[in-house]
Homo-oligomer: A and B are copies of this chain.
Amino acid sequence: MADAPTHAVVRDDALEQYLDRTAGRRLEAYKDLLRIPSISGIPAHAPDCRAAAEFVAADLRAAGMGHVDVSETGGHPVVYADWLHAAGKPTVLVYAHYDVQPVDPVELWDSPPFEPVVKQGRMLARGSSDDKAHVQMHARAIEALLATRHSLPVNLKVIVEGEEESSSVHLDAWLEANRERLAADFAVISDTSFFEGNLPAITIALRGLVYFQLDLTGSRLDLHSGVYGGAVDNPANALCQIVAALKGPDGRVKVPGFYDDVAELTALDRQAFAALPLDLEAYREGIGVPALFGEPGFSVLEQLGARPTLDVNGIWGGFEGEGPKTIIPAHAHAKISCRLVANQDPERIFGLVADYIAQVAPESIRYSIQRLGDGRPSLMPIDHPATQAAARAIESTFGVAPLYTREGGSVPVCASFESILGLSAVLLGFAPADGQFHAPNEWMWISNFETGIRTIARYWDEVAGLEHK
Chain A interface residues (CB < 8 Å from chain B): 207, 209, 211, 218-221, 223-234, 236-237, 239-241, 243-245, 247, 249, 251, 287-295, 300, 303-304, 307-321, 323-329, 332-335, 337, 339, 362-366, 372-373, 407-410
A320 to chain B: which residues have CB within 8 Å? 314, 316, 333
A227 to B291 alpha-carbon distance, docked (Å):
17
Q: Least Cβ distance of A4 to chain B in Å? A: 36
A226 to B318 alpha-carbon distance, docked (Å):
29
- Choose one: B211, B219, B249, B324; the contact of A326 (CB below 8 Å): B211
Q: Least Cβ distance of A468 to chain B in Å? A: 35
- Choose one: B226, B308, B310, B332; the contact of A339 (CB below 8 Å): B226
A295 to chain B: which residues have CB within 8 Å? 230
Closest chain B residue to A244, Cβ basis: B244
- A365 x B290 contact (CB < 8 A): yes
Number of identical protomers: 2
Closest chain B residue to A245, Cβ basis: B244
- B363 x A290 contact (CB < 8 A): yes
- A289 x B233 contact (CB < 8 A): yes
A309 to chain B: which residues have CB within 8 Å? 225, 229-230
Q: 13 A-B residue contacts at CB 8 Å?
A: A225-B313, A226-B339, A234-B311, A236-B334, A237-B312, A239-B240, A290-B365, A290-B366, A291-B364, A293-B362, A313-B327, A323-B372, A324-B337
- Choose one: B230, B240, B328; the contact of A313 (CB below 8 Å): B328
Given contacts A227-B409, A313-B328, A244 and B240 within 8 Å (CB-CB):
yes
Q: Least Cβ distance of A259 to chain B in Å? A: 13
A232 to chain B: which residues have CB within 8 Å? 287, 289, 292-294
- A243 x B233 contact (CB < 8 A): no
- Choose one: B218, B311, B316; the contact of A289 (CB below 8 Å): B218
Q: Least Cβ distance of A316 to chain B in Å? A: 5
A316 to B219 alpha-carbon distance, docked (Å):
19
A31 to B241 alpha-carbon distance, docked (Å):
52
Given contacts A315-B239, A364-B292, A207 and B226 within 8 Å (CB-CB):
yes
Select the residue from A226, A323, A329 with max chain B CB neighbours within 10 A. Answer: A226
